[in-house]
Amino acid sequence: MQREWTEDDLKEIASQLGNPTGKGGVKTGEMMNLSNNGMIATTVALLGIRAGHTVLEIGPGNGKHVSAILESTEELQYTGLDISETMIAEATQLNSTRVMDGSVNFVLSNGKTIPFTPHFFDRIFTVNTIYFWKDPLHYAKEILRVLKPGGIFNLALADKSFMEKLPFTKYGFQLYDRKSVAKLMTGAGFEIVDVIEQIDITVGNMGQPVERDIMVLICRKGSG
């Protein structure tokens, strides 16, 4: 028998997706890692990571995917930035060996600023976090600020046409289509190199099988 979701249930799902907390947050982190696994792999593959790069992920969740990134390229320095204390703790525990050897670092964020000096990272990426940016233009400019000249930022998200069908996205989500997200990124100062659009087959946030329209914007910071 299919569960009937109340409005309180939907609000809780939305809240946990935006900022996972407590035991429910741990379960949400596990679910997000499963549902976003394909998107993460695609987004990372399009980054063009090379040996010696410094890489920032915004919103790594429980970080279960981080080991695969480190194993794909030698001598990477990975940082995961997240607003959730629960996710920082989970990611640190799941990647304890890498954290101890200094190749991985997880940092708690206020969601408004990125606590690094200008031109710090070679590559930056994020998957399904843009919906929760409180001040999207300011935050996009923060990403630009900490990216090295000529560096690449990959932004992955599900299209508005898909997201608006989900019953919980009316609570605290900002949705984007290709035109609106491209306008945001160019307004922040990025050059859009390409937009990859495809169908992602995954498990939905409420446990159901889902085909979703996704896009990955490949954005470059100018070298000037």
pLDDT in tens, the chain (224 residues): 456 778 898 999 899 999 889 999 899 888 888 889 999 999 999 999 999 999 999 999 999 999 999 998 889 999 999 999 999 999 999 999 999 999 999 999 999 999 999 999 999 999 999 999 999 999 999 999 999 999 999 999 999 999 999 889 999 999 999 999 999 999 999 999 999 999 988 876 566 678 899 999 999 999 86
- Nearest in space to 172 (alpha carbons), one of 83, 81, 86, 65: 83
2 occurs within a structural domain: no
Given a contact cutoff of 8 angstroms between Cβ atoms, the answer to whether 78 and 103 are in contact is yes
Q: Is the residue at 44 inside a domain?
A: yes
Instruction: Give the C-alpha separation, 110 to 208, whole Å.
Output: 32
How much is the pLDDT for 210? 80
Question: Does residue 1 fall inside a structural domain?
Answer: no
User: What is residue 206's predicted lDDT score, i.e. its pLDDT?
Assistant: 60
Q: What angle do CA 211, 213, 214 make, to 5 degrees?
A: 120
**What are all long-range contacts of 204-212, with beta carbons under 8 Å and residues at least 24 apart?**
204/35, 204/166, 205/13, 205/17, 205/31, 205/35, 205/166, 205/168, 206/5, 206/13, 206/168, 212/158, 212/159, 212/162
The CATH code of the domain that includes 149 is: 3.40.50.150
User: Among residues 35, 72, 39, 53, which one has the least CA distance to residue 203?
Assistant: 35
Query: CB–CB of 81/56 below 8 Å?
Result: yes
What range does the domain containing 36 cover?
A: 7-220
pLDDT of 183 reads 98
Cα 154 to Cα 29: distance, rounded to the nearest angstrom: 21
Distance CA 133, CA 173 (A): 9
Provide the pLDDT for residue 72.
86
Number of domains in the chain: 1
Q: Indicate whether 124 belongs to any domain.
A: yes
CA 55 – CA 98 distance, rounded (Å): 14
| pLDDT recorded at residue 169 | 93
> What count of Cα atoms within 13 Å lies in the side-chain half-sphere of residue 171?
16
